[in-house]
Structure 1
Amino acid sequence: MSPSAGRRFRAYTAKHLDELTGRAGLDAHERLAVRAVATVLPFRVNSYVVDELIDWSAAPDDPIYRLTFPQPDMLPHADVARIADLLRADAPRKEVNQAANEVRARLNPHPAGQMALNIPKFGDDEPLSGVQHKYPETVLFFPKQGQTCHAYCTYCFRWAQFVGEPDLKMATDDIGALVGYLRRHPEVTSVLLTGGDPMIMGEGVLSRYVEPLLEVETLESIRVGTKALAYWPQRFVTDPDADETLRLFERVVASGKNLAFMAHFSHPNEMAPPLVQEAVRRIRGTGAVIRTQAPLIRTINDDSAVWETMWRAHVRHGMVPYYMFVERDTGPQDYFAVPLARAYEIFRGAYKNVSGLARTVRGPSMSATPGKVCVDGIAEVAGEKVFVLRLIQARDPDLVGRPFFAKYSESAAWLFDLEPALGATRFPYEAAPPDDPAELVGEA
């Protein structure tokens, strides 16, 4: 194992940026621009990422550096310049925060919109906070103590969870309310613990959330969405409560429920350290199933060879490739997004070269308001070039698996950039206007 394997966790935040970006060879002007971006979007990294994953001789072009450090062009130049001027003038913190909040308010559509969209009701129409129930069979739960991460990804669509604005956070510590909701809704068979990162919690806290779920008979699976395997594998190997955490995983499996460990790996370099491989081995030894997923991110993994290498590594170590996501339309999407046409070619270029064991992966998939929309292909139908699309998950289960079509576009990067094809006036998930009898010609 590496020398840092058994070290205590150490986080680096915005106050360390000058020192760290200096290691990347950035000059004073560039370092100031990075600090300006970090006043708007959250920055946090740790000693493992800094010492073991980033190749500082290749920074700032190293993919893990770009994955974790703010880039000056992630925000509009005028906004960065304005905040940089304030920092240069040593303006009062209140003035800098006000400017940062104004920029955040323009990052649209804002992820806070999910809060009102998906919160279920419980009891006498009382909102059940910290919970999303978007699909009939799946509920997302945001544990209060899990609303941070071992390190932040620069592309994260949940950046609003980390900027210190309580009104933007989705979180709760009321596991009893969730259990009650699940008993009232037996159609829910899967709960996803998410955040933030639930694995930031110690075993004692994590157990308080997980163990009550084992008593819900209708629940078939518990999922844990986490980046900890990539950013802090010590959590499962050398941390003081690593063994106790694995025993908790064993209890979930012994209860007869599936424990799905939803691991976020964004680049094959994250799999290289032996410590990660040991963590994977130990987690799998509990009976948990590790499924891997990540978004397609411009300048970091927008290459078929990167995804092929990553999926092969995952299969070799007994993990199940699950999703390639399209970068969501929040935060710095314009900086990281890959057009859907290119995303499909990157996916296909990797998919065609891996064995069937890796072809469990689905993508490129957009986790949008109507559901998870997959780009299945690009084709010519009735003389029109189209995207072939399919809902692999939907608010309306009747729409799942039914192909539909959108006009081909070289530049479209998200579902809402697309237009119906083949004479259709709307997509299958869109309600027809009361006075519009038009049929959904663009649905297969």
Structure 2
Amino acid sequence: MKYIPFTRKNYHKIEQIKKLKKTAISDIDVVSRVFPFKTNNYVVNELIDWDNVEHDPLYMINFPQKELISQKNFDLVSSMLKNGTDKSLISRTIRKIRLGLNPHPAGQLECNIPELDGSRVDGIQHKYRETVLLFPAQGQTCHAYCTFCFRWPQFVGMSDHKIALKQAELSASYLSKHPEVTDVLLTGGDPMVMKAERLETYIDVLLNSGISNLKTIRIGTKSLSFWPYRFLTDRDSDKILELFRKVVDSGVHLSIMAHINHHREMKTVAFREAVKRIRRTGALIRSQSPILNHVNAIPAVWKKMWEDQVNMGIIPYYMFVPRNTGSHRFFSIPLVDAYRIFRKAFSNVSGMARTVRGPSMSARHGKIKIDGIPEINGKKYIAMSIIQGRSANWVKKPFFAEFDESARWIDELRPAFGVKTFFFVGDKESGFRISDDFDDAAATDPVGLRQSDNESPFLDWANQYA
């Protein structure tokens, strides 16, 4: 299959767009001015149920919805477009809206960018002691953009918020001076949009550097779901698989970190064949996804997704909470509901699928996991722990918050038992810069419903796609 991208400029050419209401088309035209929009012919023709787009999870994570931005901002942009407002004024207005959406959550640009020989290395993030993230400059796009993406500023022309590594050699130089680093994650964007030769350049720098502390290379990608032909029929598909095999043969563990948001992404022949080809190289595939309102916020979806993954040899790895940036006001649900959904799904799969961890917030201080909702002396609390933190001393240290049925992020929780702040706030042990948490004023109108442990939060689509 030949890859054909669709963006705001040409999506009207999609035959199925005729099925949409005029209001849905105008919504796309407005919201795609604020957030990045790109899909492709595989997603359009193989994944989306065009007879039920209003409730289709794959449509939701590919095509912009009106509710991704506030009504106030939607009306503002819409009126400017209709009135023929000067393009420069529209651009300034849109930039102001974007800056109000917390474009670099968890202090990505403040706390995570390291230095090498006294200079910032803008294409690397080093948040956790053992793991370094590389952002290859040529991999800062995707085969299709997810509407919930927390790295959306990478794709909308906000150059001051873009993270891109232009010199592959810097990664080896950095690792050589940081023997504590064992894992390198190539991320983006999506590294799998790069040609095999370019991806090989970044990997060969690591493999040929003689760095003994490197144990694992991870590649974060959505390509398995949104363009599995990357591993099947692209011109350099075989070279990609040869590169994977070379990493494994070198003695370095290779893990493909697959972003899979719904079990329907795994139903196609192309997806299943791509998984087989990758696994034959000796690489492992691990899956991760945020829990998303309108997409997968129901236990049955996660249960089936994890079971199908195990059957294919994919290791369930993480359930994340949507980060407090961009369109999270549309996709987030209360933390206690996320925990209930996780627990119900987790309790109904075999031990082979219980490798998954969550629900986890990738917050400023680390990956914070909701462990339970215990009742102590007749009062409910939220129990949490840190899976990975800026300081190794924080890991698996339990802590508690007051029970809150509406909180959707760690910033909205209050420490329990009269404690003023969570133990990690302001802690300087990690050696990284830690500043005050963001105040996301744009998140004042989150979307979500209440439910008991046994009820679906979003029944309209759940019954059809569970």
Pick the TM interval, shorter chain.
Answer: over 0.9
> How far apart are residue 111 of structure 1 and its match?
3.8
Deviation at residue 116 of structure 1 after TM alignment: 2.3
Aligned to 2:308: 313
Separation in 2 of the partners of 1:295 and 1:154?
12
Bigger shift: residues 7-16 or 191-200: 7-16
Counterpart secondary structure, 1:425: coil
Do residues 422 (structure 1) and 417 (structure 2) align? yes
Counterpart-to-counterpart distance in 2, 1:57 and 1:90: 34
Residues 1:58 and 2:52 aligned together = yes
Counterpart of 2:364 in structure 1 is: 369
5+ residue gaps in structure 2?
429-466
Q: Distance in 1 between matches of 2:291 and 2:346?
A: 14
What fraction of aligned residue pairs are identical, expressed as a percent?
46
Aligned match of 2:251: 256
* C-alpha distance 393-257 of structure 1, shift in aligned 2 (>3 A): same
Q: Counterparts of 1:281 and 1:190 in 2: how far apart (Å)?
A: 24
Counterpart CA distance in 2 for 1:308 and 1:415 is 26
The CA deviation at 1:262 is 0.2
- Residue 128 (structure 1) aligns with: 121
Q: 1:285 is aligned with what amino acid?
A: R
Is 1:240 the counterpart of 2:267 in the alignment? no
Partner of 1:441: none
The answer to whether structure 1 residue 303 and structure 2 residue 298 are counterparts is yes
Equivalent residue runs for 1:398-437 within 5 Å: 398-431=393-426
Deviation at 1:211, TM superposition (A): 1.0
* Cα separation, partners in 2 of 1:109 and 1:87, compared to 1, 3 Å: closer
Q: State the Cα distance separating 1:78 from its structure 2 match.
A: 1.7
In the alignment, structure 1 segments of 5+ residues that lack a partner are: 1-6, 434-444
Structure 2 counterpart of 1:99, from 76, 93, 97: 93
Displacement of 1:431:
3.4
Say if 2:277 is the partner of 1:282.
Answer: yes
What is the aligned partner in structure 2 of residue 214 from structure 1?
A: 207
Could you tell me how far 1:19 is from its partner in structure 2?
A: 5.0
1:225-283: CA deviation from partner (whole Å, max 9, x where unpaired): 00000000000011111111000000000110100100000001100001100000000
Amino acid at match of 1:305: A
User: Contact between 2:254 and 2:284, CA under 8 Å: does it hold in 1?
Assistant: yes
**Structure with more contact order per residue of length (Cα contacts < 8 Å, sep ≥ 6):** 2
Counterpart of 2:436?
none
How many residue pairs get matched? Answer: 426
Q: Map of 1:142-221 to 2, 5 A cutoff?
A: 142-215=135-208, 216-221=211-216
Mapped to 2, the partners of 1:346 and 1:16 lie a distance apart of 38
- Corresponding residue for residue 440 of structure 1: none
Farther-moved stretch of structure 1 (222-231 vs 70-79): 70-79
Contact kept, 8 Å, 1:324 with 1:361, in 2: the verdict is yes
Cα distance in 2 for residues equivalent to 1:11 and 1:91: 29
In structure 2, C-alpha distance between the alignment counterparts of 1:30 and 1:81, rounded to whole Å: 15
Q: Distance in 2 between matches of 1:170 and 1:85?
A: 33
**2: CA distance between counterparts of 1:26 and 1:9?**
23
1:15 alignment partner in structure 2: 9
1:86 aligns with 2:113: no
Cα-to-partner distance string for 1:346-393 (whole Å, 9 max, x where unaligned): 001110111101000000000001100000100112443111101010
Give 1:177 deviation, angstroms: 1.3
Query: C-alpha distance in 2, partners of 1:189/1:24?
Result: 51
Q: Does the 8 Å CA contact 1:110/1:331 hold for their aligned counterparts?
A: no
Question: Which amino acid counterpart does residue 248 of structure 1 have in structure 2?
Answer: L
Partner of 1:48: 42
CA spacing shift, 1:291–1:22, aligned 2, 3 Å = closer
Measure how far apart 1:428 and its partner are.
1.8
Q: Counterpart in 1 of 2:455?
A: none
Tell me how far 1:174 sits from its aligned partner. Answer: 1.2
Say yes or no: does 1:36 pair with 2:30.
yes
Instruction: Give, in whole Å, the separation in 1 of the partners of 2:321 and 2:347.
Output: 19
Aligned match of 1:439: none
Alpha-carbon separation, structure 2, partners of 1:336 and 1:411: 14
* C-alpha distance 432-177 of structure 1, shift in aligned 2 (>3 A): closer
- Quote the offset at 1:136 in angstroms: 0.6
User: Secondary structure in 2 aligned to 1:348?
Assistant: helix
- Residues of 2 paired with 1:349 and 1:272: CA distance? 23
Q: How many angstroms does 1:22 deviate by?
A: 6.8
2:431 corresponds to: none
Contact in 2 for aligned 1:340/1:413 (Cα 8 Å): yes
Question: Which one of the candidate residues 281, 286, 299 is aligned to 1:291?
Answer: 286
Helix, strand or coil for the counterpart of 2:353?
A: coil
Contact 2:38/2:144 (<8 A) preserved: yes
Give me the TM-score of the superposition, normalised by structure 2: 0.89
1:27 has 2:18 as partner: no
Deviation at 1:17, TM superposition (A): 4.0
